[in-house]
Amino acid sequence: MYRKTLLDNGITVVTESIPYFSSISIGLWWRTGSRYENESNNGISHFIEHMLFKGTHRRTAYDIAREIDARGGIINAFTGKEYSCLYVKVLRKDMDMAIDILSDMYQDPLFMDEDIERERYVIAQEIKMVEDSPEEYIYDIFNAYYFKGHPLGMTILGKQENIERFERQMLLEHYRSNYTTKRLIITATGRVDHNTFVEKIKKSFEGCPLMDGENGEITVPTPKKAINFFERDLENTYLCIGTKGVSQVDERRYPLYILNAIMGGSTSSHLFQEVREKRGLVYNIYSYVNCYMDSGTFGISTSTSEESVLEVIGLLKDEILRIKREGITDNELQFSKDHIKGNLFMSLESSEARMGRLAKNEIYFGDYIPLKDTLREIDRIERKDVNELAEMILDDMENISLTVLGKADVKAVEGLWKS
């Protein structure tokens, strides 16, 4: 049910028809994000995301929200490291209205000075909200040092000093050069006919001339391995461990998903059972995977009381060394395969998730990856594939970075980690 069409003006249109859905999710995806920024304009992509909702010559910001709300629909947007998205979810009968709104927001955003001034304050509050949330903020800190000197180390929200000096012309220039038709992918999933949808997109986006632009050179990051401490008066101490992973297009990402599920990707994982259930030292603990177009990270995150920091770090280190030394079992391999496939199937019950999957396949692979191919890749993973990957990414404790946010005995932590 997958179809793809490239329009004359450079826009890629991709659909997945699911006749039994009563809704349709439509997304405008651009191959741009915080990775395509620099120190002086970091945060500009996220700022532009906000400005797209501030009205056009045909609609006020209220009109945009009201038209979607009146149909019980959803309109939202987000900015990532390597892509940005504006999307709606509506009933099939409201598709024309949704396309018209998305087209209007893309082609005719006002970027009015008074809206820009208001949004400075809004985004400043968003930045402070993240900084006040240590479980989120620690990822920004970890990335800032692990990818120091590289765009992947910069936050998506940007630096406050940059937000203060963004002006209308600067925003417009970045928008026109980065949100071009050649970088635009329009995806639709749900009760949609591809040919009909393409004709509607052609009509609504015919005013968009063929536009290209240079995102700038993409460089592969060189991780900076270190132990970093950030003292803050918090009730808990937050820990984030990270090491090299694999890219979004690396076939080893599937064994990495398996390793992630076993170590900390679920409530039955090693870390959750050992640290939370058996010892009661933490409320939450999990491992994570981040895959980018040319690199990636694998890590563990948790928080605990100041007096338990050393014990928790010791348990994390023990688990890393145990996996590296002993590997995984056949039972763990099969369990994780079933876990991942189950999560995948359940996610596909959402038209929004399927719409996102279409877009990411196009962004990273330039094609559609059928579900059966993904399942086949998962099923063919052998225990040695996971063990070899674990051996590679858990190479040596000195190559695994640790970020500590809160209160801790610095010398004791360093001594334990390096011993």
Cβ atoms 27, 359 nearer than 8 A: yes
Cβ atoms 241, 141 nearer than 8 A: no
Chain centroid to CA 88: 18
The residue annotated as part of the active site, out of 16, 37, 39, 49, is 49
Which of 68, 8, 395, 96 lies closest to 223, judged by CA? 395
126 given a catalytic annotation: no
Active centre residues (catalytic): 49
